Structure 1
Amino acid sequence: MHISSVYNTDRKDRSREYPLFLSKEEVKNVRRFHKTFRGYERTPLSRLNNLAKEIGVKEIFVKDESFRFNLNAFKVLGGSLAIGKLLCKKLGININETTFEYLKSDGVREKIGQMTFVTATDGNHGRGVAWAAKELNQKAIVYLPKGSAIRRVEAIRELGAEAIVTDLNYDDAVRLVMKVAQENGYEIIQDTAWNGYEEIPKWVMQGYTTMADEAIEQLNEIGIERPTHVFLQAGVGSMAGAVLGYYANVFKDNLPITTILEPDNAACIFKSAIIGDGKPYGVSGDLETIMVGLACGEPNPIGWNILRDFSDMYISSSDHAAARGMRILANPIGNDEKIVSGESGAIGIGILSLIMQDENYKEIKEKLGLNENSTVLVFSTEGDTDPVNYRKVLWDGKYELSL
């Protein structure tokens, strides 16, 4: 078992610019659009009082995204908004003045004709794009990296999309998507950015803020103004950057202490922080990890800039921490709610529990100021999207961890 950390010592010394595309007004409009979806509901925010007492913090809240539109993950929030904004751009209308139901209409389909959306994914993002394309009577092609779980591939195909498993890692699959799109005139809906491709990734990031806004609204409803600590997992850094960028706009100088989490074999944000010159850096190789949703070797530069300027600590960990988090959430203490959290979703609880309970990480605990007065918010970004591996972790003790 392994946890490495680097504290962002110069965060308060940087000249920081608040990301305006994640402002409160922008997020208000994003949330309004998502509310026009048939079946939209806030996902649960579970309050784990007994777990908090067990590990020594005041409160633990888990935003459970396994309930999002029956898709078992949060990613649809980003892909659906990006596709919605792209359609509105082609129609010459403002997304703030329309609805998802209108974009699904036959009249819109007649105006814009047949479109094909293409993306690379480790599973959840592709499923979200496939869902949005099906709802809008359009086509989707999804490329997946080698070793993708059969169930994740099937879930994409069940939504009518073409799913192609490559022999590439995630980042090379993204490059393949760029080539395929250029050759065929497809529209790329990707959750990372590169030179010349920044507008749609920003839209995707905006979509993720619905989850972050719901969480704060739910906390406010029970009398909690803000969490003291937030743990955010990062692949390319789009989700983490979106949530943190929005919270930076909301809380300004009273921003919660925020920690960014990654698997050891795909820790591109951690590497960028270690080098420390303010630029994003990638990692190479197969990127093999149980946390397949985080198996990304190259940071989204838009997300990285936010994580660089506003986060407090970066942590890279072995897969055992994620497995520990899955087991903790699936085996609640007392009357705490059971949460079915997948490998990428459970890393926040796994890391938090280790920091609080393992003396080897006492220094991390002290640097983050985690104690009996801390209110911690984590995001379980997926459920059991790979049910076979989920059972292997819970039933068979895969990635066993002994303190």
Structure 2
Amino acid sequence: MFLTNEHPDYRKPLDPVDAETLGTKAAEEVERYLTYRDNHAPTPLHTLPALASELGVGTIHIKDEGFRLGLGSFKALSGSYAVIRLVLEEAGRRLGRPVDLVELHAPEVRSIASGMTVACATDGNHGRSVAQGARLVGARAAIFVHSGVSRERVAAIARFGAQMIRVEGTYDDSVAEAARASAEMGWTVVSDTSWPGYERIPGLVMQGYTAIVREALRQLPGPPTHVFVQAGVGGVAAAIAGHLAILLGDRRPTFIVVDPARAACLFETARAGHPVRIDHGEPTVMAMLECYEPSLVAWRVLSRVADAFMTVDEEDAVAAMNRLARPVGDDPAIVAGESGGAGLAGLMRAAADPAMRARLAVDAKSHVFIVNTEGATDPSRYAALVGMAPADVVAPLAAE
């Protein structure tokens, strides 16, 4: 399914709050925070000339977030960042003065953090980032996971010392339970989705993703003409689209939001013209994108700066994973998890459809930017879908 943005707010300026959240000054602060993180380095940007030729586009560049801060996912930029910001703000309130990042490990700040509990619902990656952030600052973490989250992903979160709480139902059910229990226990919810009256913290989460754009624009030979980014609740898509719009203005690329067909909450929201909750059906293989209601903040941004919305099927996502794992020509091998390659799946589907190509002006002069949002965060699932272990995919590169 495919549609262009027909919302009345399309191409209007961002809401002032969102422009501040995703603006240059905020993004610079995110990068300053990253300099204090162990294992911080810009993630690789891969060029895929053979695939570009195959799809009839000029260039394809993929930003590989599988290498982000040792967590294997773009989410490493967001949950931990928001937790650190919240701890410093609470310390400032308690101490009666501004508290900067350089004081994060000061005894008085650690003492305040130790009395805080941060909580969130997760499909896997966001919870791992929040739990890591809590460990970094000395706070406690309570992570709510729905019944579809694999044991491997739960174990990856628990290793940071988080309290794991299982919730029957979907991701959206776990979001509701995290909010309910946190209100009862006095915990701070660090969610990557927003709802009426709860927007600032999801805004901080989105703010963390601006680092992807800033790194990519320094790595790319020039601005892209097209960007395909996958969406769950819409946070990363909105952050990338919003920051690109602020930086590039009228020169910004055509931005396409890619949803799983089985969990297309943003596609259906765009079709309706307002946020909608869709029915839960058969689970999607794109587990990190299996969300049935969009973030209100993300939709407010995307309604203005996204140019088109589309869906990809299960086989599209698996085909993208396998194409990246088994490259041709001089293309590098890339480990993309089930959700990580969904943006590429969107490009591959669009390139094969003459009508879609024409609507998006995808041609031999197009320079396409895509984000591989995760590596093999569930190695067993990855091996089952690709037929190779993640280590076997990247082994030839290591040998070089």
TM (normalized to structure 1)? 0.91
Question: 1:366, 1:95 → 2: CA distance?
Answer: 56
Counterpart amino acid of residue 360 in structure 2: L
SS of residue matched to 2:293: coil
Question: 1:142, 1:13 → 2: CA distance?
Answer: 36
- In structure 2, what is the equivalent of residue 29 of structure 1? 29
Question: Sequence identity, in percent?
Answer: 36
SS of residue matched to 2:387: helix
Residue 130 (str. 1) matches residue 122 (str. 2): no
Report deviation, 1:10. 5.4
Match of 1:299 among 288, 294, 312: 294
Question: 1:255, 1:47 → 2: CA distance?
Answer: 20
CA separation of 1:142/1:254 partners in 2, compared to 1, >3 Å: closer, same or farther?
same
Counterpart amino acid of residue 326 in structure 1: M
Residue 379 (str. 1) matches residue 371 (str. 2): yes
CA separation of 1:71/1:14 partners in 2, compared to 1, >3 Å: closer, same or farther?
closer
SS of residue matched to 1:92: helix
Deviations 1:275-303 (A, max 9, x none): 13xx2111122561011111111111110
Question: 1:333, 1:98 → 2: CA distance?
Answer: 48
Question: 1:232, 1:323 → 2: CA distance?
Answer: 16
Residue 365 (str. 1) matches residue 357 (str. 2): yes
Q: Conserved in 2, the CA contact under 8 Å of 1:130 and 1:159?
A: yes
Counterpart amino acid of residue 208 in structure 1: Y
Match of 2:257 among 251, 260, 278: 260
Deviations 1:335-383 (A, max 9, x none): 2111100011101112212322x3xx21011111111100000000000
TM (normalized to structure 2)? 0.91
- In structure 2, what is the equivalent of residue 342 of structure 1? 337
Q: Conserved in 1, the CA contact under 8 Å of 2:60 and 2:368?
A: yes
- In structure 2, what is the equivalent of residue 399 of structure 1? none
Report deviation, 1:232. 0.9
Q: Conserved in 2, the CA contact under 8 Å of 1:287 and 1:296?
A: no
Question: 1:280, 1:63 → 2: CA distance?
Answer: 29
Counterpart amino acid of residue 36 in structure 1: Y
Report deviation, 1:187. 0.9
Question: 1:83, 1:10 → 2: CA distance?
Answer: 34
Q: Conserved in 1, the CA contact under 8 Å of 2:89 and 2:99?
A: no
Question: 2:317, 2:384 → 1: CA distance?
Answer: 13
Counterpart amino acid of residue 377 in structure 1: F
- In structure 2, what is the equivalent of residue 85 of structure 1? 85
SS of residue matched to 2:331: coil
Question: 2:265, 2:4 → 1: CA distance?
Answer: 16
Cα RMSD, aligned residues only: 2.0
CA separation of 1:180/1:69 partners in 2, compared to 1, >3 Å: closer, same or farther?
same
Q: 5+ residue gaps in structure 2? A: 389-400
Match of 1:388 among 380, 383, 386: 380
Question: 2:311, 2:7 → 1: CA distance?
Answer: 19
- In structure 2, what is the equivalent of residue 401 of structure 1? none
Residue 165 (str. 1) matches residue 166 (str. 2): yes
Counterpart amino acid of residue 281 in structure 1: V
Question: 1:164, 1:97 → 2: CA distance?
Answer: 32
Question: 1:200, 1:354 → 2: CA distance?
Answer: 35
Counterpart amino acid of residue 170 in structure 2: N
- In structure 1, what is the equivalent of residue 394 of structure 2? none
Question: 1:309, 1:135 → 2: CA distance?
Answer: 36
